[in-house]
Amino acid sequence: MSGPATDAPQQTVLVVDFGAQYAQLIARRIREARVYSEIVPHDVEVEELLARQPAAIVLSGGPASVYAPDAPGLDPALLTAGVPVLGICYGFQVMAQALGGTVERTGLAEYGGTPLEVTDPDATLFHGLPTAQSVWMSHADTVTAAPDGFAVVARTEATPVAAFEDLGRRLAGVQFHPEVLHSQHGQPVLEHFLYEIAGCRPTWTMANVIEEQVAAISAQVGDKRAICGLSGGVDSAVAAALVQRAIGERLTCVFVDHGLLRQGEAEQVERDFVAATGVELVVVDAQERFLAALAGVTDPETKRKIIGREFIRVFEQAARDVVAAADEQGETVEFLVQGTLYPDVVESGGGSGTATIKSHHNVGGLPDDLEFRLVEPLRRLFKDEVRRVGQQLGLPEAIVTRQPFPGPGLGIRVIGEVTRERLDVLRVADAIARAELTAAGLDRDIWQCPVVLLADVRSVGVQGDARTYGHPVVLRPVSSEDAMTADWSRLPHEVLARISTRITNEVTEINRVVLDVTSKPPGTIEWE
């Protein structure tokens, strides 16, 4: 990453990604140890890796077999450069192979929870930890002989070399996945490598992030102005708050109220966010415009495209108005603030820190003759880190802890045509579900809980002595760390009962509440 707003801290651990499903999780666990970490692809040249002067390198797992013809390799020069290296799973095997160890397919694979025996309780990776512990395995190949100079410090029934270390060269490796919560003592193992083998210092905190970013934003923007599109979500709110702290009144935020937010969320932006930050906010009431554009439309992809198109047009005009007002004052609006997160950067293959954007960018697209340079103060952070930054900045808890919410809003949680009446019904049902989850103390136990209105479906019910013919709603509580995969949340039955009773009692148009118990995959989190 380049650009003044995205310079990484001096002490950085690089995670070399060999195609692991857990690469981002490794980086997150390292950051939880208060050491900054970034992910790099496995095909980066050794010279380029070393030029970044990493404090340590972690080799991730991956799906390949080290002896397959097309398997990602490892240049042994990386292991002789004096930089501390930890290999995990495939990274452990490719490290062993590169240094002369033996990797074989013994026919004894290990998947899932596996008993591990620490054979050297004084080993740096395991000291102070139980000699018998459960770890998470996922491998068919096995290291059967460690390279010369390495001490074998752990094994399992099927894996004679489950962990090794060479303290003289500051190299270590484990066959299991310490980054996964199912490995009972995985985080201490990672921290033993970071602190005691690599000599890293636990100094990376959210307070440091704020200090660094405020300075970087001030240097980047200078005496120019910036504009930010607020969605009501945590990412854009925290990004705006950081930039506002750096440049003050030279930031203008635009909030497009498309009428598709949940109950109380527009007010959170207009009242609570402004009160907490003092930011200059332009509110565009576009509810009628969006409803008119969505009239008669039932296809979910068409709805998404319409909502995106209308947002572009509304934001475009608002941005032009902000630019024109600045011009009249002799000022220049040169920057656009984006809430881009680190997973977005990784999944798009990286990218530079400051760029000139046009209609293709993820704000929804801007016209060809309206150019801005990006300010992306969150592009080094994961979602949980963004929330902690928001708390440090004093943003309202309701915004900081807000569940992820799709850009098209409730427009894709109404299955069928989107109308004002259907949105009002869904808003009340959604508010009830959220209130009961909060009252039960479950907000932090679930990733999000979409409430879906099956507007084109009716079912027979009985309320009082009368027959009803109302709509069902679907509760979709899910647990996840990154939304790439998710499992349905096992909510207490009494909580589900309260939600169902309140919705059917208080929302006359709804007479049935159902629970979605599908994981992702095969299902998606949202229905549309």
Residue numbers annotated as active site? 89, 177, 179
Contact in structure between 144 and 181 (CB atoms under 8 Å): no
The CA distance from 47 to 53, in Å, is 10
Of 427, 402, 407, 419, nearest to 287 by C-alpha is 419
- Please state, in angstroms and as integers, the Cα–Cα distance from residue 465 to each residue in 42, 468, 501, 502, following that order: 67, 10, 17, 18
Q: Which of 315, 486, 334 is closest to 407 using CA atoms?
A: 315
Helix 383-392 × helix 206-221 angle, to 10°? 80
Residue 16 burial by CB count (10 A; 0-12/13-18/19+): exposed, middle or buried?
Answer: buried
**Side-chain-side CA neighbours of residue 96 (13 Å):** 30
Among candidates 336, 354, 343, which has minimal Cα distance to 236?
A: 336
- With tokens 């440049």, the residue in question is 247
Residue 280 tokens read as: 């200059």
Question: Tokens at residue 1, please?
Answer: 């990453």
Cβ-proximal residues to 2 (8 Å cutoff; 6+ apart), any chain: 352, 353, 354
